[in-house]
């Protein structure tokens, strides 16, 4: 890290609420969340990709004002994001606004991109800022942070709570915000917030902590898998890129766990795969309907089933061969959406996680590989990041400045 990144790295210089450019109609003020929305804890959803980074030493203040103005207009369409979470299954769409932070970063933008470290990137994500946690987390639905670098570059991070929608929903929100900012409002797709009519809420206790381990020393590392070697492996044993990368990560993590704590090694392990079922139920959920349309499918495997081909087969078997299901009929009989057709997707994030044994996948910027952020305890990570099989397919935290294509040719 360059000397420019001295302590303190970041300072919040402004806080404000961004209101809607026009008020929410009275008949839309009460948003009933769906059953799956209800089950999620009110935690923030990390950005689908790392915070958007822009250059421009001039007119930075004008850009921030323009971002605020376009956000105000985007919130008219995504009005629940300007409301407040009242219960596990209810959002008061009261137009109180999104929490907007402006910050100064005491380094160059290139300093963060040369070696992307989660502890530094966390400075650009608003839910890690202590005062923001105190003021906003738990009730404010959307928090935005715009960070200005010494070089004039700008990072924009939007952190909505996960209960309103999944990664796909928030990707549509950022697309809408960007389109309005560019003056392309005539091409917008109008979102709908009627998930509760598809999966009505129920009287249930929410999950306790979703694997949160607050007192354990965890660390997160970034790895980039080039497409060339994954394609070669795919030719030999089949499977998708996601399945193959997941199998390599899982196999390496199990090996690290066994070497670190052999006395606690279990004969049976369980992999939780996140499955999207937006198009797997009847009727299919339209793409403009905002909500959480995923479920966790558990895949159990034994220690003698950790060969890559067997792991891929296990993962595929866990989410294939399922029938399409009438969601309303099944909900009436107490059904949970665990029997679904194949539709694996990965949660997206690029920041420190508080969940052990978690790996998150995203496409590389140029679509020529898969970027994976892995969270393990520190002792296991020290072994994991030296696993020969892992490093034969992936680069450990390469620069984000260069084109990933150079890594895909490894």
**307 and 399 within one domain:** yes
**74 and 19 within one domain:** yes
**351 and 290 within one domain:** yes
Span 118-165, pLDDT tens digits: 777 888 888 778 888 787 767 889 999 999 988 888 889 888 888 888
In a domain, 206, yes or no: no
**pLDDT tier, 300 (very low <50, low <70, confident <90, very high otherwise):** confident
Please choose, from the candidates 6, 12, 13, 11, the residue with its C-alpha nearest in 3D space to the C-alpha of residue 111: 6
**194 and 226 within one domain:** no
In a domain, 276, yes or no: yes
**228 and 343 within one domain:** yes
Q: Does 318 have pLDDT greater than 80? A: no
- CA 81, distance to chain mean position in Å, is 17
**373 and 251 within one domain:** yes
Q: What is the CA radius of gyration of the chain?
A: 22
Full-model pTM: 0.77
**286 and 139 within one domain:** no
Q: What is the CATH number of the domain that holds 370?
A: 3.30.559.10
The dihedrals phi and psi of 88, each to the nearest 5 degrees, come to -65, -20
Full residue range of the structural domain in which residue 74 is found: 10-198
Span 351-402, pLDDT tens digits: 444 567 888 888 887 778 899 999 999 999 999 999 999 999 999 999 887 5
In this predicted structure, what is the pLDDT of residue 114? Answer: 83
**240 and 145 within one domain:** no
In this predicted structure, what is the pLDDT of residue 75? Answer: 96
In this predicted structure, what is the pLDDT of residue 252? Answer: 93
What is the average pLDDT score of the chain? 78
DSSP 43: P
Q: How many domains does the chain have?
A: 2
**157 and 96 within one domain:** yes
- CA 121, distance to chain mean position in Å, is 14
Q: Rounded to the nearest 10 degrees, what angle do helices 227-237 and 308-319 cross at?
A: 80
Altogether, the residues listed in the chain come to a count of 410
Mean pLDDT of 103-116: 85
Query: How would you list the strands of the sheet with 394-396, edge to edge?
Result: 358-363, 369-377, 218-226, 394-396
**245 and 132 within one domain:** no
Buried b (16+ CB within 10 A) or exposed e, 337-347: bebbbbbbbbb
**223 and 107 within one domain:** no
**382 and 324 within one domain:** yes
In this predicted structure, what is the pLDDT of residue 6? Answer: 40
């Amino acid at each position: 890290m360059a000397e420019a990144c001295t302590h303190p790295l970041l300072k919040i210089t402004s806080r404000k609420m961004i209101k809607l450019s026009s008020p929410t109609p009275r008949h839309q003020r009460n948003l009933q969340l769906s059953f799956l929305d209800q089950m999620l804890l009110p935690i923030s959803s990390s950005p689908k990709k790392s915070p958007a980074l822009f250059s421009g030493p001039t007119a930075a203040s004008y850009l921030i004002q323009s971002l605020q103005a376009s956000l105000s207009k985007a919130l008219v369409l995504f009005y629940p994001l300007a409301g407040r979470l009242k219960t596990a299954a209810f959002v008061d769409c009261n137009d109180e606004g999104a929490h907007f932070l402006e910050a100064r970063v005491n380094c160059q933008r290139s300093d963060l991109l040369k070696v992307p470290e989660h502890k530094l990137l966390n400075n650009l994500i608003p839910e890690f800022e202590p005062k923001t946690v105190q003021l906003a987390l738990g009730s404010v639905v959307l928090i935005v942070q715009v960070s200005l670098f010494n070089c004039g570059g700008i990072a924009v991070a939007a952190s909505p709570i996960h209960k309103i929608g999944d990664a796909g929903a928030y990707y549509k929100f950022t697309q809408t915000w960007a389109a309005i900012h560019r003056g392309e409002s005539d091409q917008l797709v109008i979102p709908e917030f009627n998930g509760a009519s598809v999966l009505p809420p129920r009287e249930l206790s929410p999950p306790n902590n979703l694997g949160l381990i607050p007192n354990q020393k965890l660390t997160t590392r970034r790895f980039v898998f080039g497409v060339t070697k994954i394609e070669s492996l795919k030719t030999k044993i089949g499977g998708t890129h996601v399945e193959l990368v997941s199998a390599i990560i899982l196999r390496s993590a199990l090996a690290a766990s066994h070497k670190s704590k052999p006395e606690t090694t279990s004969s049976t392990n369980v992999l939780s795969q996140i499955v999207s079922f937006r198009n797997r139920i009847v009727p299919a959920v339209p793409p403009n309907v905002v909500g959480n349309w995923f479920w966790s499918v558990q895949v159990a495997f034994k220690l003698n089933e950790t060969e890559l081909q067997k792991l891929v087969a296990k993962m595929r078997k866990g989410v294939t061969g399922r029938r399409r299901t009438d969601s309303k009929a099944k909900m009436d009989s107490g059904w949970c959406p665990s029997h679904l057709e194949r539709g694996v997707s990965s949660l997206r994030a690029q920041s420190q996680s508080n969940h052990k044994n978690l790996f998150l996948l995203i496409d590389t910027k140029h679509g020529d590989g898969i970027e994976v952020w892995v969270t393990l305890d520190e002792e296991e990570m020290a072994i994991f990041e030296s696993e020969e099989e892992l490093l034969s397919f992936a680069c450990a935290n390469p620069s984000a400045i260069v084109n990933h294509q150079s890594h895909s040719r490894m």
